[in-house]
Structure 1
Amino acid sequence: MREYEQELPISDTENTMDCSSTTSLTMVSNKTDFAVQKLHKQKKHIGLDLEVRIENSVLKNQNALLQSEIELLQCTLKEQEGCAKTSENETVVKYINMYLDVNAVKDDITKLKFYTGLTVPKFMCLWGYLGPSVNKLVYWNKDCGVPDRSHKKRPGPKQKMTPMNELFMTLIRIRQGLLLEDLSYRFGVSKTTVSRVVLTWIQFLYIRLSAFRTKMFPDRSKIRKHLPKSFKKYKNIRCIIDCTEVFVQQPRNLVNKETAIRPIKDIQLTID
């Protein structure tokens, strides 16, 4: 009995130790499971963060590529616009070089002086003096000798000849005496247009410049007073224009032909 009684406490102690060990193992197991779950969560979070970083990197690379493509397309577009403008300018230059145009010579002193006898400042002064009336000209009908009033707006070749170009052509006609057909080739318009434009501008210039006639010629009394002896018998003389033969084209209208020119030595000359 004593031996039994002595052994009993030992058995209780062992049971107590077994329970403590089981509890400790359970706690360790729980901690281990928690640690494993936490590790899995961390791995999962790290994985998601890594995926997000990789996706952001891919998006940045794609954005950079798209930006490069946009810049390339913009450069290509600018080059194409530049080529289009160059082509348009070349077309304009070719047109100006093909036909005579005041814009091609108004800044060239030599050419403008050759064609019109006027310097650039004098030509622009004349143009400024003529004023806005140049846009309201009523063009003459050469067949019936009266102005053509069938047009409410400015008649004539609007697209090909500006008023300044028409003045330029008229001055060339006066200065160089070029034929109507020649001028039609030079300015790229019909012969009829050249005739109507020149006739209209001659009349217009006569009206606008009439105010200078009193300044161009002195009074008849002063002219008679200072006439040379060889001209004293010519009482009605006003001026002498170099006494040079001026060749002109014969008008088709017989009335105009009779009043404008006289045959002298079988040559058609103008009579002042």
Structure 2
Amino acid sequence: MEQGSAHEGGRPAYAPGAFPRTPAEGRTPEGRTPEGRVPGQARSGPAGGADPRGAPPGAEQARGEHTHSEPPAPRAVQRHSVRGQILDALRAALVDGELVPGHVYSAPALGARFGVSATPVREAMQRLAVEGAVEVVPNRGFRVSERGPRELAELAEVRALIEVPVMLRLARTVPAHRWSVLRPLAEATVTAAAVGDRAAYAESDRAFHRAVLMLSGNEQLVAVADELHRRSQWPLVSGPAGRRADLLADASEHTALLDALIAQDLAVVRALVGEHFAGADG
């Protein structure tokens, strides 16, 4: 089983094929503004006293400026939003194979493609480096990590050691009505697989697994399993094209597993989760 859209609000729009194989190293203006007072926002002095800049009391009102406390500027929130959208787009590009394993991409060049400065791209790439998807190349940019079948198999083995015992325990203890509410998540993986949207499938796949494991009540387990799952979704050196036909088969395992969990059929649950992790794709 794989994943869905990296940003919770859905997959951000970006131009397919917008990632250069050999990007230019030119820099774009950062467009950053100093932190602190919003341009045009008044500084208020002590109540009833002189303005710290030397203006007499009431001068700001005469200039039409506000002296009461104003809400904080939304710039930090906007910047975080941009960074999150860029991170989602980069993750989707990795899953789709648009960012090629072994190739180096510069933050300024990618920023130019997105129409943003290099800063949010660089921040998103640093996050991907922590996740193991890319490697930092000093003075050049970021190289997409090259992964082979052995690494994928190792990730699948570790995930199975964590998730399978938990799923079997939950199959014995969770009532059917709690499993039924996960039906839309399982169906979302089938929908994404049917249209061949690997990025949407990867996100919906992770969402389904995460929802199952959350029933354990162990937040640390959910976080560790989700991180391993994400790592398992980055493409192999050979790219994702050869595995695309497996998406529907993997998605059907989600719905079959959910049916078995609702029925509390432990034998079927054990067989399905074993096959699922053996397939190593979701």
Normalising by structure 1, what TM-score?
0.20
Normalising by structure 2, what TM-score?
0.19
Q: Which has the larger radius of gyration?
A: 1
More helix by share: 1
Q: Per chain length, whose mean CA-contact separation is higher, i.e. which structure has more relative contact order (CA < 8 Å, sep 6+)?
A: 2
